[in-house]
Amino acid sequence: PRRIDVTKSPEQQIALMVDAVQPHCDEPLISAMICGHAGSMASLLSSKFLGVGGGTTRTSELPQNMIIAVGPTTIYAFKYKPRGFKIKVKPGWEVARWPRSSVEVVPGPTGAVSKFTLVTEQGDIYALEVTTAMGGAGAYDIFIASLQAPPG
């Protein structure tokens, strides 16, 4: 399993996530990011740090813990099991893939948790978020730029 290290540069953080899923993709990846459903990380942080009850908000059929990976022509979604700061993706854990040309990326608010939405040609909407506190903002910026770049 790969380890996330917030002391690494944004490019190194992205490379770590790419390395975790690259063996499961059929094209070289540009970037990858650990994501969750929009609202879920804020709810989790509230319950852990503030002692407030809070479940998770699920916005789609994608798993709660996922890695979204960006290739030249395809966007991939993988489930993964968080193990502290380790990233582990097993064969068969791909849960979705979309042609990049058929997905609109809508960046949302940024902060300790940054949000974005993937909207497919079929009308599916995936509201997702990334924890960008503790040094993750630079990696998030690289990831969003790769999602918004023209396919190919």
pLDDT tens digits along 41-74: 444 443 344 443 333 334 557 888 899 999 999 9
Q: Model's pTM, two decimal places?
A: 0.82
pLDDT of 54 reads 38
Q: What is the pLDDT of residue 37?
A: 85
Residue 53 and residue 120: Cα distance in Å, rounded?
33
The predicted-structure confidence for 106-144, as pLDDT tens digits, reads as follows 998 888 889 999 999 988 899 999 888 767 888 999 999
Burial of 12 by CB count in 10 Å (0-12 exposed, 13-18 middle, 19+ buried)? exposed
Rounded to whole angstroms, the Cα distance separating 122 from 36 reads 21
Does residue 120 contact residue 98 with C-beta atoms inside 8 Å? yes
Q: What SS3 class is residue 54?
A: coil
Place of tokens 């990326």: 105
Q: Which helix (H) or strand (E) holds 20?
A: helix 10-21
Per-residue pLDDT at 94: 95
